[in-house]
Amino acid sequence: MRLTPAAESAVRHGHPWVFDQSVREQNREGTAGEIAVIYDRRDGFLALGLYDPESPLRVRILHTGPPTTLNAAWWRHHLDTTLARRQELIEAAAPTSGRTNGFRLINGESDGWPGLVVDRYASTLVLKLYTEAWLPRLDEVVTLLRETLPWATALVLRLSRNLVETARQSYQRAEGFLFSDDDPPRETVVFRENGLCFEAGVRHGQKTGFFLDQRDNRARIEPLAVGRDVLNAFSFSGGFSLYAARGGARSVTDLDLSEHALASARRNFALNRDDDPAVAACPHHSVQADAFAWLARPSPERYDMIIVDPPSLARRESERAGALEGYAHLNASAVARLRTGGVLVSASCSAHVDEAEFFSAIRRTVRDAGRSFQELWTSHHAVDHPAAFKEARYLKCLALRCDP
């Protein structure tokens, strides 16, 4: 294949995607999962990638630099290199430590595995695919994972929604367990994160079963929670709440529209009460309601810490302006519920809202509410969720202490 000059330059500088309109020439039609060899305008080797004829992302880059052969040795080295970036986490998952055994092992494009994610929950792996190009290579990927990670006792295949029918009709593949030492396989797995226990719905839960990307931010709020009444808006399964409880919160309240999510949070608290006196002593409340409406309604209830972590408000670029308005409205409602000296922790997972405009929107919202503030910290992606290109930088979070 040969690309337009702009696309050629982007690939040369590390961008992992070639869009269909960027393909200037190719020698023949390709099939999903074939290796596309890309040459530059001087007929020099540029890159290798996975071809996907049905996707606007026509090629997903696997390798740039000197020419190479994508044989078994290359794939094994590729995986070893990816795992080496997480060596500290892998060591923390060892039985002698065991404080954290839930984290991301492969983070798609940013790790050089475009459209493929692998998460670890204790000894269970969850493999999620976002492109048809991996389906013809699925057996090779599974074999590589089993050989490299022999401690894994189960592997679950998850597919993005747009792939489910294609996988069934064209490849006779369906979501579910590819192997398991348990009979029947365990669809809910308990894992540890910084010493706390959580359940992951590896078969049917959101994402791959849990929101692993907020691990570091959950740890950051723990020392801030001591003696505070904490509200966790869009609480899902109560991750932030459990850290706040262990940190010595006076009380924690989960707010979520989903009773299923609230029930999961209650189970997560139950998993930790016997082992952690602070969790056992902290009153844990649940409120089932739309967080936007509940926060905006008039109420005398006030909190010393409010965590605002909504799902993505901008799934496409055209929704960016509306998302910024949504973040401003949501956080203004939260600030109105904060006591003097209260802490606002606000997060965004919208890739189409960049960090500068998100942070500016939250700071402006607090000022417009007539509150002065001290910025405690800002954060981005954890080490197991690297973001190697602009479109991958979705997660941002900041904490502000608000005064009158």
pLDDT tens readout for residues 158-174: 999 999 999 999 999 99
Q: Which two tokens stand for residue 77?
A: 């080295």
Lowest mean pLDDT among 32-46, 87-101, 185-199, 243-257: 87-101
Residues 6+ apart with CB under 8 A from 111: 82, 85, 386, 388
- How many angstroms separate the CA atoms of 47 and 109, rounded? 14
CATH architecture of 211-402: 3-Layer(aba) Sandwich (3.40)
Tell the burial category of 94 from Cβ atoms under 10 Å away from its Cβ (0-12, 13-18, 19+). exposed
CATH code of the domain made up of 72-189 = 3.30.750.80
Q: In the predicted model, is pLDDT for residue 74 greater than 90? A: yes
Predicted TM-score (pTM) of this structure:
0.95
Nearest to 135 by CA among 100, 182, 178: 178
H-state helical runs in 2-155: 5-12, 72-84, 87-92, 138-148
Strand partners, 233: 255, 308
Q: What is the pLDDT of residue 92?
A: 84
Q: Which two tokens stand for residue 394?
A: 């979705």
CATH superfamily of 2-64: PUA domain (2.30.130.10)
Q: CB–CB of 33/134 below 8 Å?
A: yes
Q: CB–CB of 43/3 below 8 Å?
A: no
Using CA atoms in the order 48, 54, 55, 61, what is the torsion angle rounded to 10 degrees?
A: -10
Q: In the predicted model, is pLDDT for residue 176 greater than 90? A: yes
pLDDT digits (tens, 9 = 90+) for 189-203: 999 999 999 999 999
- How many angstroms separate the CA atoms of 232 and 218, rounded? 11
How do the domains of the chain map onto residue ranges? 2-64, 72-189, 211-402
pLDDT band at residue 385, thresholds of 50, 70 and 90? very high
pLDDT digits (tens, 9 = 90+) for 85-125: 999 999 888 877 779 999 999 999 999 999 999 999 999 99
- The mean pLDDT value for 136-147 works out to 97
Amino acid code (one letter) for 270: A
- The mean pLDDT value for 54-74 works out to 96
pLDDT digits (tens, 9 = 90+) for 298-327: 999 999 999 999 999 998 999 999 999 999
